[in-house]
Amino acid sequence: MIKNYLIFKNKLKEMIKQLIEWQLPSKHQLPNVYKIDY
């Protein structure tokens, strides 16, 4: 059960990262967004 949660958390993290990258093509404009600790 914990393993499933970790897998889900990782997928969620990837989705959020891709969403941020899709909304902000230039990573260098908002470096703070990438310092978020999940």
- The answer to whether the predicted template modeling score (pTM) of the entire model surpasses 0.75 is no
Average pLDDT of the chain, as a whole number: 75
Q: How far apart are CA 13 and CA 2, in angstroms?
A: 16
Per the CB < 8 A criterion, the answer to whether 33 and 20 are in contact is yes
Residue 25 CB-half CA count within 13 A: 0
User: Which residue type, as a one-letter code, is found at position 6?
Assistant: L
User: Cβ of 38: how many Cβ atoms within 10 Å?
Assistant: 8
- Whether residue 4 is predicted with pLDDT greater than 70 in this model: the reply is yes
Q: Tokens 């470096």 appear where?
A: 31
Average pLDDT over residues 8-37: 73
